[in-house]
Amino acid sequence: MDRLRALEVFVAVVARGGFARAADALDTSPANVTRYVAELEAHLGTRLLHRTSRRVSLTEAGEAYYERARTILDEVAEAEAAATASASGARGRLRINAPLVFGARHLAPLWPRFMALHPEVELDIALTDRIVDLVEEGYDLGIRISRGGSQHYVSRKLATSHNVICASPDYIARHGTPGTPADLARHRCVVYGYAPEPETWTFLGADGAEVRVRVGIRLRTNSGDTARAVALAGEAITWQPDFLIGDDIRAGTLVPLLPGWRLPDIDILALYPSRRHLSAKVRLMVDFLADAFHGPLHRWEAAG
């Protein structure tokens, strides 16, 4: 049995939803497709597909095998592309993990441009604020928002975002303006649940000195959009990156607080597993994102 061909046939059956359609796509006969799948199942000693007269579906073992088989075929395609063509010949599936809000607001508009430039690359985008293990969960690339970079992955900085402490004019009218970071203990604040110390905010003075303060808490959340909504409604003070609230600051619906003090900046990073070869498709995507975020269409600064 040609095991690589059997993988190709099996993946085609699943992707096309049937043996006949897979045979058409592979320019072979349905009998050959059936034979390859049967031989593969016999070799593995397990059934991969449920077959009925109308459709095929994956068994539990088949679901796990299908994902691995697609990855293997993608890597074979990458190896062939690297050996026979330039980076412009990249192809196969590219799995990317990114934060939810940043991914929806600032990455989603970029995907159509990348797809038009590289039609042979299939994008598989997962948005979550949970920190995932790229290797364990099978991602080729991760986008992270971080102050400290990464000890486990190779990283490239795509952009920098400034954190801004702010409140709505209505909140300020009702509760006053904090004059120093210490005043935040007497105010109503939204704290971010994924921060290392949600209740403690760190400020840098004009001389670079660091001040840490415990703030009064009105709401805890792991969602930047939720924090923004509560602040816009006049219920609390929040700090958020300017890629999320830059438009609100410019519009005056949120007002920066504590002039003379600033929050540490955060970097937008592209991460990929250091133990894996940097494939053409990953290299293309990282270069594409770096160029995009240094261009004139992606300026989210709240001021300046």
Query: Tens of pLDDT along 149-181?
Result: 666 778 889 999 999 999 999 999 999 999 999
Question: At 134, is the pLDDT very low, low, confident or very high (cuts 50, 70, 90)?
Answer: confident
Give me the domains of the chain, ranges plus CATH numbers: 3-84 (1.10.10.10), 87-152+273-293 (3.40.190.10), 163-256 (3.40.190.10)
Task: Tell me the C-alpha distance between 206 and 217, whole Å.
Answer: 26
The band of 55, judged by pLDDT with boundaries at 50, 70 and 90, is confident
Query: What confidence tens digit (pLDDT) does each residue in 247-258 have?
Result: 999 999 999 999
pTM for this structure? 0.66
Coil, strand or helix at 266: strand
Distances (CA, A) of 75 to 72, 90, 126, 231: 5, 11, 20, 47
Residues with Cβ < 8 Å from 112, sequence gap 6 or more? none
Instruction: Round to whole Å and give the CA distance between 212 and 182.
Output: 9
